[in-house]
Chains A and B, each alone.
Chain A
Amino acid sequence: MGPVLRRLEDESIYIIREAIAESQNPVLLYSIGKDSSVLLHLATKAFHPVKLPCPLLHIDTTWKFREMIQFRDRMASELGASLLTYTNADGLKKGINPFSTGSAHYTSVMKTEALKQALDLHKFDMIIGGSRRDEEKSRAKERIFSLRENGHRWDPRSQRPEFWKLHNSRLLPGQTMRVFPLSNWTELDIWLYIHEENIPVVPLYFAAERPVVIRNGSLIMVDDDRFKLGENETPQMKKVRFRTLGCYPLTAAIESEAETIPQIIDELFVSGNPERSGRLIDHDEPNSMEEKKVMGYF
């Protein structure tokens, strides 16, 4: 492994160990995507030969790609990790869904609220997640150990300064800490590392013929029969792949020929588009990620 990936790996393992050591009740947020796969791989390495000393938590909106859920269950059983899943039952009962509810409200209820409910239910104090600073401008400003006030709110104006490897993880009652071991990884680093370490990822990242419709200029995959087709919409087969994975109706695919990791890396070197541009929820309004984070979103 070259110095770039080596240094990232060392840094991430240090952060994961530090979070677990300082926590009374830690959890690792697992969203099934490539970043989560790398995070889980690093966390496993950090404690080898001992088993990962915290559970995984997946917030299930019930609208994830089917392949994601299959992959999640396979990974959990292979690793022997304890996997917790949580769905906002109240939101489900009210029929909140990504098609008719509006993406902002849907995300708020089924993702942000669901996450807060799950964290409160289990009383987790340190929540380790796979966010990266190169994903989005408000994430670019966030600390590695990022304090959440009562109600999981993020206050971007008063982040605790952190220097070198010194992190202040002291918590008052009601406060929690989000910890981001992958802060300094880029999308390219993630793929290079997955390649180097042979880390399994959901096949949706690789180009294949998939049924898609074009909505507002985005390629949306028809993943199950809950997809309500518009009058003039007919799914067509296109060779596409996903750069990020979320809820299938809100995650745009890109047309691509990249069927292998080296081909993805090749594609990234010439790519001129940011990775999260395929996430429709990020573009609800200007600064929308920042607003979501303030409210407690990851």
Chain B
Amino acid sequence: MTATTVTHDLVSVENVSLSFGSVRALRDVSLTLQPGEITALVGDNGAGKSTLVRCLSGIHRPDDGTVRFDGQPAHFSTPEDARNAGIETVHQNLALVEDLTVWQNLFLNREIVHGFGPLAILDKRAMKREAQRMVSTLAVNVPSVTSTVRRLSGGQRQAVSICRAAGFSSKLVIMDEPTAALGVQETERVEKLITKLREDGHAVLLISHNFAQVMRLADHVWVMRAGRCVAGRRIAQTTGEEIVALITGAQQS
């Protein structure tokens, strides 16, 4: 890292290890994420990227080591805990309900209601209005917030997922291969959306196999290999070739 230890890290992972039976998925991983930056996490398949991300989003709990989020030790036992703390995850498999509308998906399990308890009635108008605002602040081109997700293209769906992740005052948005299933144009649009998130002050953790994309978008990159975090580079001070060499192990950090 640079010498600016004064600014506190948004996320700091210290010596985190996690094993599944005899498989050591993570070994002494340490890395940090800065607020307001896009941080990329790269590595070969099975290097432990997804496992690490799941530790951050509350799906797994590390066996050893600490995760600090926003200065506080983070002990997330469910994804709900992580969400409440301000960590949103955009899942690889697009976690949207096709037969519900865009606004219903944006507010799924966070519905705005009138009244309390079992007699609470949905405030549809407020949710539609708010959904419209969320969609337009991110300049997402969705036909209408009242159309069902089934009618949207892959890119539009990904945009809605990202919009949902960004919408609820989240501090960190984790994206696992957000453009893997998209075409060229759609990828470009989603990339713009990711940059927009950074402009709006969200930190983004981006898992990607696309080095060109990492070089284009990220501010910092962490390289994982065989369960270890082997290197961290500022994007401005590295090249695609160096990252590839770090991933394959041709170059030791």
A binds B: no
